[in-house]
Amino acid sequence: MFLKTESFEYNGVTVTLSELSALQRIEHLALMKRQAEPAGSDSNRQVTVEDVIRTGAFLVAMSLWHNHPKKTQMPSMNEAVKQIEQEVLTTWPTEAISHAENVVYRLSGMYEFVVNNAPEQA
């Protein structure tokens, strides 16, 4: 309703990305905190490529949920987001996940979380 949206095109396919809602921002920050906790106890822990891809897919899935058919088919947002996240992980290339993640961060005013300086694909 109040969330900003933007069309995202990659390789000829267009989807609508939405700004994260307040609840989704809380969910995202909780994920970031959980990921940082092991790093605090083990100074040698490094963020893996898998961590980066999964975090991006989760963020993109939360954004896609607002206009996704699963929004009304699933009993909860979390269940729907998990299924959408699996769709993203199994059908999107990593470059598309990264570019879409940057769009969601920008739409949501979360610039401090942008870790990939790659330009967005037009």
Question: What is the tens place of the pLDDT at every residue in 31-66?
Answer: 888 887 765 565 556 678 898 999 999 999 999 999
Amino acid letter at 72? T
Vertex 55 angle, CA 61 and 122, to 5°: 65
More confident residue, 41 or 69: 69
Contact partners, residue 42, CB within 8 Å, separation at least 6: none
Q: Which two tokens stand for residue 31?
A: 């994920």
> What pLDDT sits at residue 83?
96
- Residue 13 vs residue 41, higher pLDDT: 13
Cα separations (Å) of 89 from 8, 33, 46, 118? Answer: 17, 22, 22, 20
The average pLDDT across 101-112 equals 90
| Most confidently predicted of 50-54, 85-89, 106-110 | 85-89
Give residues with Cβ within 8 angstroms of 96, minimum separation 6: 10, 11
Residue ranges per structural domain of the chain:
5-113
Query: With bands split at pLDDT 50, 70 and 90, how would you rate the model's confidence at 75?
Result: confident
Q: What is the pLDDT of residue 31?
A: 87
pTM exceeds 0.85, yes or no: no
Least confident of 5-9, 51-55, 73-77, 89-93: 73-77
